[in-house]
Structure formats: C-alpha cells, structure tokens
Amino acid sequence: MLEILNSLLTILIMLVGIGILIFVHELGHLVMAKRSGVKVEAFALGFGPVLWGFKWGETHYRLCLVPLGGYAKMAGENIAPKPGEKPLEPYEFYAKPPFTRIKIFAAGAIMNFLVAFPACILVYIIGVNLIAPVVGEIAPGSAEWHSNLQKGDTIISIAYPAASEEIPIKTMDDYRRELIRAPLGAQLMVRAERKGVELTVPVTAGGSTALGVQPAHNIIHRITPNSAADKVGLKVNDEILEINGETVFSGREIAVQVYPNPSKPITVKVRRSLDTLPAGMTDASAVLPLTVTPDSVEAPYYDVGIEGMFLPEIERVKQGGPADLAGLQSGDRIVSINNEPVKSWQRFTEIIKANPDKELKMVVLRDDKELIISAKPSKDPAGKGYLLITPKITNELGDIIPGSAVAEAGVQAGDRIISATIKSDIPITSLLQLTELADKYEGKPLEVVVQRGDEEKHLMLTPRKITQQGTLGIELKAKSVRQQYRIDRAIVVGAKETFDLLKLTWQLIWKLVTGEESPKGLAGPIGIFHASYNMVQEGISKFIWLLALFSINLAILNLLPVPILDGGGILFCLIEKVRGKPVSVMVQAIAQYIGLFLLLTLVVFASRNDIIRLINY
C-alpha cells in the first residue's frame, strides 16, 4: 500500500513539475501579448474540459483536465485575413507589425530559458548527488572496450590530441557530454586512474547511441528489514567489492553470483563508508569480509543446461589487453591449455581465472591450422586472471553437463542445434535462443533438430523449471559525488550548467540534422515520463535539474523554424518583413499541416525508441 501511495505521489510531483514548465512558457506569451496590446481571450493550463476557471479583466483563466500542455488564446491569432476582408481590430494579433508578433512568439522560449537558470542555481544550493566517473561495465565492441579502459577505472579528464588543455571530468555525465559533442570519429584522449596509477587511452567518439560505458553500480541504497543483508550487518552506502571471490561492479554481476544460491552461504567483501565504520576501525581496515546466506524467494525461470557450454571460440579481442599481446585473434578456437583439452567456454574461463600472472601454453585452431600460443592472464582486484576477450556463441555445443535438460534430451557434445519448434519452426543460430524460448513459453517442451555429423536428429527438449532464486534484500545505486555550494558559487556553477545544457542541446540538434547523431537516441513522451519518474525517486534536486533540462529543450524545440511551432511563426514574420506582405493564407495552411505531420511523425518515432529502451531496460 505504501509503495502504491509513493508511486502516486511521485507521478503527482512529476505532473506538477512538467505543468509548471508549460505554465511558464504560456505565461511568457500572455505577458508579452498584453504588453503589446493584444487581447488574450483565454489562458489555460492543460487541454480538454475546463475543471476550474475565472475571468479577470478581458482574459478567462482555466485549469483543464489533461495537464500535458496549455495555451494562451489571443484575439485574431488565426491565419492572417485575405486582402479585402474585414479590417482587423487594433487589439488583434495579426493587426500588430511582424516584429511585435516575433516578440510574442519568442516570449515563451525566453521564459523557459529564464526559469532554467535559477533552477540550476537552486540544484547546487540544495546539493545534488551526481554519478561518479567510475567505470562499471563496458559494452563489448564499443570504443571504450577497444581502448584500454577497464572496470573500476576512474575517468579524470578528456582532451583532443592536439589540444593544450584537458577538460576535467568530475561526473559520468561530464564524460558522456564530451563524447556526444565531439565530432563523429574524433579521437579523444581519456585520462583515467587505475589503482593509484594514471594512464591515458584513446577513445573514438561515436555519438550518444555508441557510448559503451556504464557507471559502477554496486553501492547499497536500501536494505529490506530482516533480509539476509540486514541480518548479517550490511549497511546503506556499503560498496560491494567481491562475491565468492569474483570482482563485481554492477547489479548484473552481483545478481549472477546471488540468484543461483538461495539458502546457500556466499562470501561477500564490502568497503564500508567512513561515517558508518565501527569504533576503532580505521580507513585502512574498512574492507570487511562477510558470509551471507541469501534468502530464497519464488521467482521461476527455466533452464536448458547450456550455460557456458558453447565452444571456446573468440569473437572479440581487446586491443592492448593480455590476449592481444599474446597474439590471440578473433575467430580463434581454443583446443587445449597446458595439454588439458578445453571443450567449453566455461572450462576455458575457469582455467584463465585460476592462473593470474602465469604463462599458459595454448593450442588454438585458426583457419583450420593448429598454432601454439603463450598467454599470460592479468590479475584483477580479486586476484583472478583475465584476458579481455568475448566469446562467439554459435549453435554448437562444446560440452554437455551430465543430467542437464539437453543431456536428458539426448543432445551430445559437438551437436549443432539448427532449429526448434513450438507453435512454429524457429531457426537457431545461437544457443542463447534456446534459453529465450524456454522463458518465453514457460518451459513447454521444444522439438529441436540437431545436426550430428551428416545426420539430422529430432529430439524433445524439456526445460527445467527452477522455482527459487537467491536474494540479499538490497537495492543498489551508482557511486556518486556530491556537489553543493554556497549561494555565490552556486550562481556561477548554475550559470555554467545552464549554458552548457543550452549548448549541448543545440549541438545535438545540429548533429541530428547533419547525420552525425543517430535518431535512435531521441526520447518521446514515454521516455520523458520514465526519466521524470526516476528522477523524482532520486530526490528533489535531481528532479529540479531535469526540469531545467526539459525547460531548455522546450525552449529550443519551440524556436525551430517548423510551422505549428513558435519558430515557424517567427519564420513567417521574417518572410513578411522581407516581402512587405504576409505569406498567403493557403501557403501558411499547407505549411502548418506539413509541420503537424512532421511533429507527429517525430513523436511516433521517439515513442518507438522509448518502448525499445524500456523492453531492454
């Protein structure tokens, strides 16, 4: 019940915030219209049926049912009359000269700019926790993955190779902004700190959709009372460093260690924040080893027994990593390590993790020829070996787990699963598809076709239902840095932030127009709602910052020279000023229909992006 009330309150705060932005925008039109002698017949917050209203002077003020919009209705604001029609009254919109109308059109955007500035100042007076520039996960194949950045690195600065000055990076948002605003394909020099040692790596800018870094997300944000975490003494703001000897930097990596272990003890290593250290404990001893038994919760999923059983074949090799230095290449298949045959990727990673800083003799298959390569895995913070490579997951099984679902179905090591049938015949190109099908159809039997040598065999595969998963009873958050200043400093920082958001928005629009930025990064109403909801949950200062960003976006988008937007009205006024007469009624009407079509198309496309992002969230 409390969660429902909290969600409703969050939605209410979010709607009020967005309503304020719209109110301010329309207020700008209202004030400038009245100052210019234009009669404003109605001023409304929202659309649809009027819930409440009153008349003051010549204007009827209204609060309408749908809070997603608003308007200031001016006398004579429709398309200018044709020559010879009844003359306009002096107080009508189109009776005013073009420059006066331009001021009225632009007033809404100007008000949004003016609101963004004090909003940003207020954020830094209240204080805001921003995401620290600590690398959590790196998307395989991304520019960051191909650089020498690694999980756990702290990004310090960015510079162009020929630049004399570096741009300091204080938050992960700073890093993202610089990568977004850089020209497509530009090589940036990223300076980072790793275990107290600074290094500089090149990262190629690829636009907002190509950003390959996720921040470290391993700080405990909330703990459920009487949960496994609560019982063992874990505390809010503890940083989870390792689980079962595996270094973890993200919620996904933590889940991989916790979910399969309901009611089974696991070892957890955490770093405790200084303000919650027990009496007498110093910073040097702030890392605590704990044994936790995850609670068992009912969360059914379906297992086919192929986890890690795919071939030990390499898809990507990170440039400058230990595998690259050893001479391993994409497409290499590991045959053996130190004379031990290696049939699966799982066994391959087990050997690598167990041998940090040790020379390993590998036999690899490359272009149907066997080669001998010596590789030396590096050591991660938990003391485990790594090579910085990713697997190529095909439809061929390298090994079989005895007693697993695929083993009981009669599938053998070396078999290729070429199709699965449930309702329809589905070609299989990756073994991961079997797991997806098992979950999608809730464990219903699959008829699979396997290729074994020159034969094809039809087998029935019944996924295993796993009913219980482990949970610690915690919510996680990203590492953060707090920025809070006295009012004089907050004014300076707030002004810089406002200008930077304005500049970044213009740069993104220009990149979209020139094709340097993918439209897949656009967000629509669903994305705005989702971002607003999350920001309200994170605190009032984060939400005020988001409103400042929305206010700037609202201003700039409205000034674009698109008919039906304020910028389109300004464009027609400028054309009228140059020609000495208004644009014809027919041209304006057609242009507005085209503008409406373009705007609706953009909303539909952006909403599609929103839905795809939510599905993959």
Q: Which residues are identified as catalytic? A: 26
Question: Which residues have a Cβ under 8 Å from the Cβ of 295 and sit 6 or more positions away?
Answer: 227, 228, 262, 263, 470, 471, 472, 473
* C-alpha–C-alpha distance, residues 427 and 429, integer Å: 7
CA 69 to chain centre: 27
DSSP secondary structure, 29-96, as one string: HHHHHHHTT--EEEEEEEEEEEEEEEEETTEEEEEEEEEEEEEEEETT-SSPPPTTSPPPPTTSGGGS
Question: What three-state secondary structure class fits 596?
Answer: helix
Are the beta carbons of 332 and 368 closer than 8 angstroms?
Answer: no
Question: Which residues have a Cβ under 8 Å from the Cβ of 478 and sit 6 or more positions away?
Answer: 131, 132, 136, 172, 215, 216, 217, 219
Give, to the nearest 10 degrees, the angle between helix 98-126 and helix 566-579: 150
Q: What is the phi/psi pair of residue 108, to 5°?
A: -65, -45
Question: What three-state secondary structure class fits 609?
Answer: helix
User: Which element (helix H / strand E) includes 483?
Assistant: strand 480-483
Block residue for tokens 């070609």: 427
Among candidate residues 397, 437, 378, 220, the one with its CA nearest the CA of residue 306:
397
The number of residues making up the chain comes to 617
Are the beta carbons of 568 and 489 closer than 8 angstroms?
Answer: no
* C-alpha–C-alpha distance, residues 225 and 237, integer Å: 16
Question: What three-state secondary structure class fits 9?
Answer: helix
